[in-house]
Amino acid sequence: MQFDIRRFDIYRKVPKDLTQPTLTGACISICSVLFMLYLFLSELAGFLQHEVVSELVVDDPVKYSEKIPVFLNITLMNTKCEFVGLDIQDDMGRHEVGFQDNTEKIPQNDDTGCRMETHFLINKVPGNFHVSTHAAKHQPAQGDMRHVVHKLRFGMDLEEGKNVKGSFNPMESLDKGNGNAQATHDYIIRVVPSVYVNKDNTKRYPYQYTYSYREIIQYGHGGHMMPAIWFRYEMSPITVQYTERRQPFYHFLTTVCAIVGGTFTVAGIFDSCVFTAYEIIRKAELGKLS
């Protein structure tokens, strides 16, 4: 007996003269093909893009460095540059009054205000840095620390075009210009280390942070104390790691097969229901339903 490999065909063909095309079936088929094409193109677009996956780890992402860069850009609307200074303190005993390195002061509002841009390093311990008049040779007649924070960033900046959900610069364009002129502005900041791993396995180390704010008026033995802008920070032991990766090809194929097979099956069931209902109605009209 000659072996016939066609016995293994699970896709048996029905002769065309035994099938009946219908207008409803044609409409359902066209809609199904368009629907499958739409889902396929959507899935293909998602496959070609890189997804960013986040995870939490208890680790220091930058073990080789005990310092974190900080970038501050702030405008004081009613304090001259000659009075404005930056002081840095932390729990390791650091205490710098009138920090000057990498600092630029730009007069604003006809020299009645000052925009200060600076960057510096802080230790990975709780501490603070504050904008004040403490380092000035003489104090202004009346302190006024109302301000706008244009930028406060910890660590590296994310590369341009990276869109990641997170609080990397939540104080951007923060306006505190309508507060009490005699008030001290106090920001409590929680710094969270982050790692961003690109698709080529290169890494960047931005830091996210959240903050709370309070406005207070301080008094001492001599009466009202000169206001300042305090940024008090502490480090979180949790690191957020973002990883760029592309969807596996087998996952893409599985999804495409599910789209085609699922749409074909559902469309077939719907077509059968429509055809059966049409036949029942037609028989009822002809009186052949019984």
| DSSP three-state, residue 8 | helix
Res 241: pLDDT: 86
pLDDT tier, 165 (very low <50, low <70, confident <90, very high otherwise): low
Q: What confidence tier does 163 reach under pLDDT thresholds 50, 70, 90?
A: low
CA–CA dist 41, 45 (Å, integer): 6
- Whether residue 127 contacts residue 90, with contact meaning beta carbons closer than 8 Å, is answered with yes
Residues 288 and 159: their CA atoms lie apart, in Å, by: 74
CB 60 within 8 A of CB 239: yes
Cα dihedral 271, 273, 274, 277, rounded to 10, equals: 160
Print burial letters for 123-160: b (CB count within 10 Å at least 16), e (below 16): bbeebbbbbbbeebeeeeeebbbbbbbbebbbbbebee
Mean pLDDT of 99-110: 93
Mean pLDDT lowest among 17-21, 103-107, 162-166: 162-166
**Rg (the chain; Cα; Å):** 34
Kindly state the greatest CA–CA separation across the chain: 115
What pLDDT is stored for residue 183 in this prediction?
92
Asked if residue 81 lies in contact with residue 107, where contact means CB atoms within 8 angstroms, the answer is yes
pLDDT in tens, 235-269: 998 888 888 877 778 888 888 888 888 888 888 88
* Residue-wise burial string across 35-68, b where 16 or more C-beta atoms lie within 10 A, e elsewhere: ebeebeeebeeebeeeebeeeeeeeebbeeeeeb
With pLDDT > 70 as the criterion, what percentage of the chain qualifies?
A: 93
- Domain positions in the chain are 22-48+247-286, 59-237
Per-residue confidence at 68, pLDDT binned at 50, 70, 90?
Answer: very high
pLDDT for the residue numbered 289: 62
Kindly report, residue by residue over 48-66, the tens digit of the pLDDT.
Answer: 777 777 788 887 777 767 8
Instruction: Give the list of residues 6+ apart from residue 64 with CB closer than 8 angstroms, or none.
Output: none
CA geometry: angle at 46 spanning 44 and 48, to 5°? 70
Query: What is the token pair recorded at 15?
Result: 């002769």
Instruction: Supply the mean pLDDT for the chain.
Output: 85
Is residue 16 pLDDT above 70, yes or no?
yes
What span, in angstroms and rounded, lies between the C-alpha atoms of 135 and 100? 10
Picking from 117, 63, 66, the residue whose alpha carbon sits closest to that of residue 90 is: 66
Element (H, E) at 172: none
pLDDT value at residue 147? 96
Reported confidence tier of residue 185, pLDDT bands at 50, 70, 90:
very high
Inter-residue contact 235 to 201 (CB < 8 Å): no
